Amino acid sequence: MPKIKIPKKSPSLDMTPMVDLAFLLVTFFMLTTKFRPDEPVIVDTPASVSTKILPENTLQVTIDSAGSVFLILKDKMCAET
């Protein structure tokens, strides 16, 4: 006597909670993001090429139109900007 085969159902998965979670995460990150603040001074550096090697420690002095002075000390240990 042949065996009776029970048809197998494919499992169904409800995607609604996953979509809700994705939208909640996107909304959370959009609302908690802080944009990078503006630079205090916009410096237009000249485009030039030099074969002269700079010394290890250099001091960059920038003065804006309001008279504020900005000092930046760069050395070889710092990452290049």
Domain segments of the chain as ranges: 53-81
| pLDDT recorded at residue 79 | 45
| pLDDT recorded at residue 76 | 55
Distance CA 15, CA 10 (A): 15
| pLDDT recorded at residue 47 | 79
CA distances, 80 to each of 51, 63, 74, 77 (Å):
17, 21, 9, 9
Amino acid type, 50: S
Give me 21's structure tokens. 């979670």
Distance CA 28, CA 43 (A): 35
Note if the pTM is more than 0.85: no
Each residue of 60-75: pLDDT tens digit? 888 888 888 888 887 6
Each residue of 17-43: pLDDT tens digit? 999 999 999 999 999 998 888 777 777
**Would you call 69 helix, strand, or coil by DSSP?**
strand
Given a cut of 80, whether residue 56 has pLDDT beyond it is no
- Which residues are 70's β-sheet partners? 62
